């Protein structure tokens, strides 16, 4: 998205410049951080009119800011930039990815549309939020082929995650959007990022990111964001104002900075991941490797041995939750990120007890492999015996 009359800009250029277009006119190079919680106003009649307008449509108030819960100039820069990268009219940022998902559910529930159709696997807390009905929602779990049949008159949302957390299973977004009919399709695009996939171009109406991950990219910011059309964005802003799940300005600044290197980071980490996938797939200590067709920096693999020993054995790779940082992280989903999901549901979605999820970073791939190789330990006895027979 570019302003009228301006030339179209390629993705890498937008990543660097979107949200910063006005800086040169202000004599600035780095975006400012506005930490104000409130702003002076000497015309209370005009303020009343602006508040009335926001209450009606949720549109961002014209003129100077009013109060930090309605919006913040630094956060707005990040929202503008992310919308450009996802190819949407708008984006609305929140204090976390779960706050963003909660706001979407509340928007639909406010219209009496509490039923959600969802495809497993999802991020564990997203799964729990739906299953537990914490926001009054009711969920029908299905596979992608069953989306159309699962729809009801009160269905307010269809939710998919592609590639999915943690198995990296992919959904045909275009086919899913067609199956939804008039029901909005929400795609969690956290793993792919707009570098690898832009769901709105395939028919999705809503795109969710845990911005904590690749958008921030350095493990130092907690945030969520929804990219969507302006009509839905207005409703999200109203929920954000009412519930207070706002993003801190410093986080908005860090996210805008993170976007500028997003294409470079994702492509470099993806190259590392592809090489590790090649080596893991040929390793007798590894039972199965999961890697999406679109590529990316996320890898999942199941081991023949004890996955907990692998977690305990890494030294360069960090055993920790989260993902998308410049350094490589590994975790055992059945113990941590998806522990909150019922064990039978978890296994039914392909999250086995031997599955490990790895977020590949920017280290030298040889150092990463050396660390993984040591953590995987010796080959299982059957594999050693087979190797001995082959070389006898």
Burial group, residue 282, by CB count within 10 angstroms (0-12, 13-18, 19+): exposed
Q: To which H or E segment does residue 369 belong? A: helix 365-376
Q: What is the DSSP letter of 220?
A: -
Strand order in the sheet with 355-359: 286-290, 298-303, 355-359, 329-331, 318-319
9, 20, 69, 288: which one is catalytic?
A: 69
Contacts of 173 (CB under 8 A, 6+ apart): 160, 162, 185, 187, 197, 199, 202, 203, 204
123, 214, 253, 291: which one is catalytic?
A: 123
Joined tokens for residue 173: 């977004």
Q: To which H or E segment does residue 368 belong? A: helix 365-376
Per DSSP (E only), the strands in the chain are 90-94, 115-119, 138-142, 155-161, 185-188, 206-209, 224-228, 286-290, 298-303, 318-319, 329-331, 355-359
SS3 per-residue string spanning 4-52 = CCCCCCCHHHHHHHCCCCCCHHHCCCCCCCCCCCECCCCCHHHHHHHHH
Joined tokens for residue 170: 């992919």
CA distance 87 to 194: 9
CA distance 345 to 336: 15
371 part of the active site: no
Length of the chain: 392
34, 188, 283, 371: which one is catalytic?
A: 188
127 part of the active site: no
Can you tell me which residue has the tokens 């007798």? Answer: 284
20 part of the active site: no
120, 198, 213, 237: which one is catalytic?
A: 213
213 part of the active site: yes
Catalytic amino acids?
A: 69, 123, 188, 213
């Amino acid at each position: 998205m570019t302003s009228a009359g301006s030339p179209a800009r390629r993705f890498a250029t937008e990543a660097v410049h979107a949200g910063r277009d006005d800086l040169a006119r202000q004599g600035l190079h780095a975006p400012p951080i506005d930490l104000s919680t409130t702003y002076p106003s000497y015309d209370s009649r005009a303020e009343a009119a602006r508040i009335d307008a926001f209450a009606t449509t949720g549109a961002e108030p014209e003129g100077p800011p009013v109060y930090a819960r309605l919006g913040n100039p630094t956060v707005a820069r990040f929202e503008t930039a992310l919308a450009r990268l996802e190819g949407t009219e708008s984006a609305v940022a929140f204090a976390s990815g779960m706050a963003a998902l909660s706001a979407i559910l509340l928007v639909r529930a406010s219209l009496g549309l509490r039923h959600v159709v969802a495809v497993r696997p999802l991020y564990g807390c997203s799964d729990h939020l739906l299953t537990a009905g914490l926001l009054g929602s009711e969920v029908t779990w299905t596979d992608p082929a069953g989306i159309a049949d699962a729809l009801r008159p009160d269905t307010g949302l269809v939710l998919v995650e592609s590639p999915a957390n943690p198995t990296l299973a992919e959904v045909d977004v275009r086919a899913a959007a067609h199956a939804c009919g008039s029901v909005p399709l929400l795609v969690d695009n956290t793993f792919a990022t707009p570098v690898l996939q832009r769901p709105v171009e395939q028919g999705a109406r809503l795109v969710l990111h845990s911005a904590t991950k690749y958008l921030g990219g350095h493990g130092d910011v907690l945030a969520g964001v929804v990219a969507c059309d302006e009509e839905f964005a207005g409703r999200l802003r109203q929920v954000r104002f009412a519930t207070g799940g706002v993003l801190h300005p410093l986080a908005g600044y860090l996210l805008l900075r993170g976007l500028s290197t997003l294409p470079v980071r994702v492509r470099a980490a993806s190259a590392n991941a592809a090489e590790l996938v090649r080596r893991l797939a040929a390793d007798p200590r590894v039972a199965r490797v999961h890697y999406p067709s679109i590529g990316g920096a996320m890898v999942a693999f199941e081991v023949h041995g004890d996955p907990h020993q692998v977690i305990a054995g890494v030294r360069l790779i960090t055993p920790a939750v989260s993902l998308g940082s410049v350094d490589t992280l590994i975790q055992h989903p059945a113990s941590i990120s998806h522990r909150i999901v019922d064990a039978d549901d978890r296994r039914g979605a392909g999250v086995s007890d031997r599955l490990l999820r790895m977020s590949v970073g920017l280290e030298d791939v040889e150092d990463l492999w050396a660390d993984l190789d040591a953590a995987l330990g010796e080959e299982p006895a059957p594999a050693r015996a087979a190797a001995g027979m082959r070389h006898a």
